[in-house]
């Protein structure tokens, strides 16, 4: 198959040839823990890394390999590794790239459990970090230390939707030999390809847009360098574990086939909802990259194919009023997670980012009245009708 097909084609075909699998149109599910060796000598040579072939599903599995090859193609990377959760992917990447006394520089907003992982790395392994505003090149340069090994960013940042200019980060990082890791969960490779811009690693919570149906917890790492990825597979993933299960990999392969059509619909719906939501008298600040008044609208236009399916907004009122809105929705589901077919709503301060102190949350821009909406695939008019009745219902 042509290597440089469009992404809409790659999500369906990359990494799989039915003729290599008895003509099965759908990739087969190798639901097995282990693989039998034809001879003891062959077993020895597989363990020694001298011959190809599977050994044990914690090291790799043919179904998982199809998913990994597809994800590597979609992100324009050299290789991918699939994990049992997004956090397993993030932690494996940071364990792979850092050692004691190193320093990680982060965007000034990250998912609550990633923040928790950074605390753990600091307290137990003496790997320090700083969260900084990466809007400005000078601020970034000043924050770099001799020990800085990794720049870790989310863009858009969960849940404030702030963007980080990846081209600028790459330029500065390359001057210092620092690795750039991007959490691309909010965009998926359909909307943004950080490796194409020169970043070194992409991590995903594949639970979200990659799977797309709210039925899998999974994570993916894609790297630009084949050897580094092989090293990561042979060390942190093999010895810490955390590989995805074959069935979950199969579900992700299935979900990926519709990534492009789903994302287009998520983006269309979010745009309609954002336009209408912005005019509601109970809505304060809105954070949506597709809004022309969004401070980083130009950057969004440059860096992202479209504006995505996520919208955050502040309610004019109190935390209790924000919670009252969540209690009033009916069609929209009150749940964390995102990128599902269903529209989901949640309260970051008390849910996804509850593990971060109020002080730190406020520095990140997460107020108690902030609500995060993952716009689903339903008719936008129905989503809006539900949201409107919930907003209208508060005094
Ligand atoms: C367990 S809380 C969060 C799940 C997911 N990372 C989200 O942002 O919704």
User: What pLDDT was estimated at residue 165?
Assistant: 98
Establish whether 319 is a catalytic residue.
Answer: no
Q: Does this chain's domain 7-256 share its CATH topology with 260-392?
A: no
Which helix (H) or strand (E) segment is 385 a member of?
A: helix 380-392
Task: State the sign of the Cα–Cα–Cα–Cα dihedral 23, 26, 32, 37.
Answer: positive
The closest of 75, 60, 14 to 202, measured between CA atoms, is: 75
What number of other Cβ atoms are within 10 A of residue 344's Cβ? 21
Note the ipTM here: 0.97
Beta bridge partners of 344: 333, 374
Q: Which residues, 6 or more positions from 242, have their beta carbon under 8 angstroms from its beta carbon?
A: 83, 84, 85, 88, 91, 92
Q: How many CB atoms lie within 10 A of CB 360?
A: 15
Residue nearest to atom 5 of ligand 1 (CA): 337
Handedness of CA 203, 299, 168, 140 (dihedral sign): negative
Ligand 1 atom closest to Cα of residue 86: 6
**8 A C-beta contact, residue 227 and residue 77:** no
Report the candidate in 333, 340, 337, 367 with the shortest Cα–Cα distance to residue 352. Answer: 337
Distance from C-alpha of 122 to C-alpha of 135, rounded to nearest angstrom: 25
Distance 111 CA to ligand 1 centre (A): 7
The Cα 344–Cα 309 span in angstroms is 11
pLDDT along the chain (395 residues), means of 10: 83 98 98 98 97 97 98 98 98 98 98 98 98 96 98 98 98 98 98 98 98 98 98 95 97 98 98 98 98 98 98 98 98 98 98 97 97 98 98 90
DSSP 179: E
Helix, coil or strand: residue 180? strand
Q: Decide if 368 is catalytic.
A: no
The reply to whether omega before 159 is within 30° of 0 (cis) is: yes
Q: Looking at ligand 1, which atom is closest to the CA of residue 336?
A: 9
For residue 111, indicate whether it is catalytic.
yes
Provide the β-strand partners of residue 7: none
Q: Which residues of 241-254 are buried (b: 16+ CB within 10 A; e: fewer)?
A: ebbbbbebbbbbbb
Q: Which of 46, 208, 265, 306 is catalytic?
A: 208
User: Which residues line ligand 1 at a C-beta cut-off of 6 Å?
Assistant: 111, 158, 205, 336-338, 352
pLDDT for the residue 3: 64
CA–CA separation, 314 vs 325, rounded Å? 11
The domain segmentation of the chain, as residue ranges, is 7-256, 260-392
For residue 4, what pLDDT is reported? Answer: 73
Residue nearest to atom 7 of ligand 1 (CA): 337
How far is residue 247 CA from its own chain's centroid?
20
Cα dihedral 163, 164, 165, 171, rounded to 10, equals: -170
- Active site (annotated) includes residue 58: yes
Q: What number does the ligand 1 atom closest to the CA of 351 have?
A: 2
Nearest one of 96, 196, 206 to 152, comparing CA atoms: 96
Helix ranges, 98-165 (H): 112-125, 137-143
- Listed in order, strand segments (DSSP E) in the chain are 79-83, 103-107, 128-132, 148-154, 179-183, 201-205, 219-223, 283-287, 310-315, 333-334, 344-346, 370-374
Query: Structurally, what CATH architecture does the domain formed by 260-392 represent?
Result: Alpha-Beta Complex (3.90)
In this structure, the residue with its CA closest to atom 6 of ligand 1 is 337
CATH number of the domain at 7-256, out of 1.20.140.10, 3.40.50.720, 3.40.640.10, 3.30.479.30? 3.40.640.10
User: What single DSSP character describes residue 90?
Assistant: H
What does the alpha-carbon distance between residue 379 and residue 387 come to, in Å, rounded to a whole number? 13
């Amino acid at each position: 198959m042509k290597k440089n097909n469009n992404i809409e084609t790659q999500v369906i075909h990359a990494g799989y040839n039915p003729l290599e699998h008895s003509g099965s149109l759908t990739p087969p599910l190798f639901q097995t823990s282990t693989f039998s060796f034809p001879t003891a000598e062959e077993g020895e040579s597989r363990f020694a890394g001298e011959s190809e072939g599977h050994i044990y599903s914690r090291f790799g599995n043919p179904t998982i390999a199809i998913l990994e090859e597809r994800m590597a193609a979609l992100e324009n990377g050299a290789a991918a590794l699939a994990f049992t959760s997004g956090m397993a992917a993030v932690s494996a990447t940071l364990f792979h790239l850092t050692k004691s006394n190193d320093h990680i520089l982060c965007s000034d907003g990250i998912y609550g459990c990633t923040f928790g992982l950074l605390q753990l790395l600091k307290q137990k392994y003496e790997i320090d970090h700083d969260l900084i505003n990466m809007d400005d090149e000078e601020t970034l340069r000043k924050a770099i230390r001799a020990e800085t090994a990794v720049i870790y960013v989310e863009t858009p940042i969960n849940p404030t939707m702030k963007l980080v200019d990846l081209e600028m980060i790459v330029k500065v990082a390359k001057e210092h030999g620092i690795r750039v890791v991007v959490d691309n969960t909010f965009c998926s490779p359909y909307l943004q390809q950080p490796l194409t811009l020169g970043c070194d690693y992409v991590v995903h919570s594949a639970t979200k847009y990659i799977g797309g149906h709210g039925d899998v917890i999974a994570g993916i790492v894609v790297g630009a360098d084949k050897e580094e990825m092989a090293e990561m597979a042979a060390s942190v993933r093999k010895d810490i574990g955390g590989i995805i299960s074959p069935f979950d990999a199969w579900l992700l392969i299935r979900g990926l086939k519709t990534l492009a059509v789903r994302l287009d619909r998520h983006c269309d719906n979010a745009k309609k909802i954002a336009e209408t939501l912005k005019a509601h008298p109970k809505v304060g600040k809105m954070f949506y990259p597709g809004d022309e008044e969004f401070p980083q609208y130009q950057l969004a236009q440059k860096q992202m194919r479209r504006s995505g399916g996520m919208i955050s907004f502040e309610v004019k009122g109190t935390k209790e009023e924000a919670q009252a809105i969540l209690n009033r929705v009916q069609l929209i589901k009150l749940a964390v997670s995102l990128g599902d077919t269903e529209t989901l709503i949640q309260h970051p301060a008390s849910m996804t980012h509850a593990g971060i102190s109020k002080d730190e949350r406020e520095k990140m821009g997460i107020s108690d009245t902030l609500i995060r909406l993952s716009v689903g695939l339903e008719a936008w008019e129905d989503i809006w009708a539900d949201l409107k009745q919930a907003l209208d219902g508060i005094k």
